[in-house]
């Protein structure tokens, strides 16, 4: 589980020790194999600080998006979020087909595909990135609202 959560993409093929000292660095070949074995087209991950808030690696098959700008008030990085535009999710397509005789009708998939306009068939979902800088903190000392109740287990509500 640790490797799954803390591993990061790296430029070299295969797996190598991680620069963090936990997990591994995995190469573009590992990403492509993972996607192929799981019937996926893209790996979107987080938890790794990126200077620009995001990074596209491994020939575009691995995207890291990090939403915490100026991480721990000292990294100076941007934050980012990702939105996918265009195309349709499989679940949307399946819902459209329901109730139109698609259940068990031979060739229903072909009919559904033919009904789509040609432009829509070709338009793939593409990631759109939005980046942002950190906002200034209010003039309150860190942990000012933390409680010592039960060793900090009070949830910071001053119990």
Distance between CA atoms of 155 and 17, rounded to whole angstroms? 37
| Parallel, antiparallel or unpaired: strands 15-17 and 43-45 | unpaired
What's the pTM value of the predicted model, to 2 decimals? 0.66
pLDDT tens digits for range 47-68: 899 999 999 999 999 999 999 9
pLDDT tens digits for range 67-104: 999 999 899 999 999 999 887 655 544 444 444 443 43
Q: Is 141 exposed, middle or buried, given 0-12, 13-18 or 19+ CB atoms closer than 10 A?
A: exposed
Cβ(17)–Cβ(8) below 8 Å: no
């Amino acid at each position: 589980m640790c490797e799954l959560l803390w591993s990061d993409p790296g430029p070299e093929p295969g797996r190598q020790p991680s620069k963090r000292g936990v997990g591994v660095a995995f190469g573009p070949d590992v990403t492509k194999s993972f996607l192929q074995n799981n019937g996926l087209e893209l790996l979107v991950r987080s938890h790794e600080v990126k200077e620009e808030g995001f990074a596209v690696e491994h020939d575009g098959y691995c995207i890291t998006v990090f939403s915490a700008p100026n991480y721990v008030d000292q990294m100076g990085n941007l934050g980012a979020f990702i939105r996918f535009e265009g195309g349709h999710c499989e679940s949307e397509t399946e819902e459209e087909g329901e109730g139109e005789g698609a259940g068990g009708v031979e060739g229903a998939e072909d009919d559904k595909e033919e009904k789509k306009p040609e432009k829509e068939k070709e338009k793939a979902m593409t990631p759109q990135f939005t980046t942002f800088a950190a906002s200034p903190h209010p003039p309150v000392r860190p942990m000012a609202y933390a409680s010592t109740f039960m060793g900090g287990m009070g949830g910071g509500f001053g119990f």
